[in-house]
Amino acid sequence: MKPIAIGDLSRQAGVKVPTIRFYEERGLLPKPERTDGNRRTYDMSDVRRLRFIRHARELGFEIEDIKALLFLAGQPDRPCNEADAIARKHLGAIDDRIARLTGLRKEMQAMVDQCAGGHVRECRIIEVLADHGECLHAEH
């Protein structure tokens, strides 16, 4: 099979070249073979691995979790409880972010709704930003 150059890997996996180098530095991709001219070369397993990494990043997984998932993917006969635990932890983090964003949205909507559109000296938005105690939810 013909070796794949880094630019071709980039196109096939939908990831920019600096990102490929970043993933190599972080240990997500193995160090590539080198040509006599010291150019990196890859193969289809690298394309598949990089697509896996890209999809996991799009879903918001952290680098360390992706490393663990890649390790597990390389051991197909293992039970998937570890992968499940990683995904459940990530889902919990997403739920937490959604709850915080929902509260933030309510706060912003209240500030906008209470703004009378008059002068800055009477602006509810400015008042709330100046005094955290004026927030609906002081914990954010």
pTM: 0.80
**pLDDT value at 138 more than 60:** no
- Widest CA span in the chain: 71
- pLDDT tens digits along 98-127: 999 999 999 889 888 888 778 888 788 888
Report the CATH number at residue 10: 1.10.1660.10
The number of domains in the chain is 1
In a domain, 69, yes or no: no
- pLDDT tens digits along 81-94: 999 999 999 999 99
In a domain, 33, yes or no: yes
In a domain, 125, yes or no: no
- Its domain, for residue 46, covers 1-62
In a domain, 41, yes or no: yes
CB of 12 closer than 8 Å to CB of 4: yes
In a domain, 97, yes or no: no
In a domain, 74, yes or no: no
